[in-house]
Structure 1
């Protein structure tokens, strides 16, 4: 009995010192260590690429329609003329040969040679007189059967007045020695003609040369919507007809109307 007691006391004393040797040892074994938040550094946000600014395209300027300047037409000139030195081949295969020369009033901004060549082309057109047996024509510089003069309005009036014709500074005429073309009509065309001045020149030459080949009278409109005859004074009004610069249609038919003067 005594030994047993001493052994128990000694055991108890030993256990007591072990229990107090480290206060941490008294913590329950099952206790988990306090959780520590991980100190992982949050990654720096990736910088977004800065979009490169494209230069704003400048609007393409719209083309500005340029108005054609109206040619300046002098009212008067010296009354003297320059003769075109050009000469050409005979146009047409039948009928009387008529040689003509072209004259431009001095001081006028027209080439005598260039104008003569344009008139030559008008008379050679397949819808004009020569192509339909109404005569043959040849551009010459001298020894002409008739002359085509282009003159300022005042000079044209003076030349036409010698034939008893009043052209009012606006019209062309046919005289005993040829054709007088008002420069205003040659350059600007006619307010009653729907085509260009270049087209109207065909009408001027075809109409006046028509008188030269013997068609003395003027014609009227052949009916509403029909092409006006070349021998109609279209500048005075179309009366329901359509503007037309040629004596013949595309089918080769002579364009006529009632005789009016």
Structure 2
């Protein structure tokens, strides 16, 4: 049981009269002590009146333990009288206490997070705070280098000789929860600082508007990082020009232009709208003019079948075709080409750059320059009327009508008068007129 036990009162001591208080114990080799003797430095004192117990209690002595400062040597170099059995118990107590301290340090290390070198452990968030944010990380957390392997005894955070519990493992997911808790605490701290700054700047009003500089920065960041939709400008598409507007618009064309001399028929069919004798005609346009052939074809059909024209009172009607045998061909050609075809019928159109009915051929020639630019007798504001007169006048020649001069000053000029050249003949000045029957 160890040598601190006693086997009974007076079993190992002999007292001899008065010498018992100051003498020595015989047979034990120990110095006798009476009740007045103070306790020794190792904390043992003979309680004379205390009940004697069997066995005794092993005292554990290590630095920082709960039993004092540990065993102290006796005067004269004598060692602790615990004996070999007591030393084994002492070492076992030391190992248990070392394991307890290692577990405490491990718990503090887990709470404080990873360490670097000999840096002092910083207490981390409380366990209740971590459990509130406990989540399983979405991806594995890379291992910390000094936590990857088993801890080495005698490291910077534990004394040499301290045993390491090989069965102790860090709980799964605790590192992620620790990092999550620390991050949450940091975010909370930052938010508190920001709110405090806003309160200080606005004189206590938390909801005070932010400064213009912050707004400008946010706007610039947004303009750089966010792809914004371009402002949609409502564009009003220009309405297509009406027939009358197109007919009143001048087109650019040189007065001495001579184009390719090749003609192309305008496709399509425009039925004769009226009664009477039907004239079938085709429209050819010289290639390379750059003019609207569709507009020209539309103008011819509308002008000839107008009741103010040759179709007055159903006397005749006109139908446009693009194939087959026509009665005549109305041709839009450049000034140079018009002169060539008019010369075939003995007519000179180059002097005044005019149009003609080439009677020796099947073509009624319309000078493209006059069609595009008009004439000074009508002026720029009456281009529509001039174009109608040009069609009626040249087709009138095809129908057998000759030139007629104005006889009444101030009256409307006859449609068969050469109004392109002049409205003043022999001192009689008339007004421009596009129609055969203008009063209808």
TM-score w.r.t. length of structure 2: 0.40
Measured against aligned partners, the alpha-carbon deviations of 1:190-211 in whole angstroms (never above 9, x if no partner) come to 1112452222111011111111
1:1-261 pair list within 5 angstroms: 71-74=251-254, 75-94=257-276, 96-142=277-323, 143-168=325-350, 170-176=353-359, 177-194=362-379, 195-215=381-401, 217-239=402-424, 240-250=429-439, 252=440
* Distance in structure 2 (CA, Å) of the matches to 1:100 and 1:84: 11
Decide whether the 8 Å contact of 1:125 with 1:131 is kept in 2: yes
Cα-Cα RMSD: 1.9
Q: Secondary structure at the match of 1:235?
A: coil
- Give the structure with the larger helix fraction: 2
* Distance in structure 1 (CA, Å) of the matches to 2:354 and 2:315: 25
* Distance in structure 2 (CA, Å) of the matches to 1:208 and 1:133: 20
* Distance in structure 2 (CA, Å) of the matches to 1:212 and 1:184: 21
Q: Which has the larger radius of gyration?
A: 2
Q: 1:69, CA displacement in angstroms? A: 9.2
* Distance in structure 1 (CA, Å) of the matches to 2:422 and 2:378: 9
- Partner residue in 1 for 2:37: none
TM-score w.r.t. length of structure 1: 0.65
The one of the two structures with greater contact order (alpha-carbon pairs below 8 A, sep at least 6) is 1
Decide whether the 8 Å contact of 1:135 with 1:213 is kept in 2: no
Detail structure 1 runs of 4+ shifted over 3 Å in the superposition: none
Measured against aligned partners, the alpha-carbon deviations of 1:150-209 in whole angstroms (never above 9, x if no partner) come to 110000001101111100161100013131000011011111124522221110111111
- Partner residue in 2 for 1:50: none
Decide whether the 8 Å contact of 1:91 with 1:130 is kept in 2: no
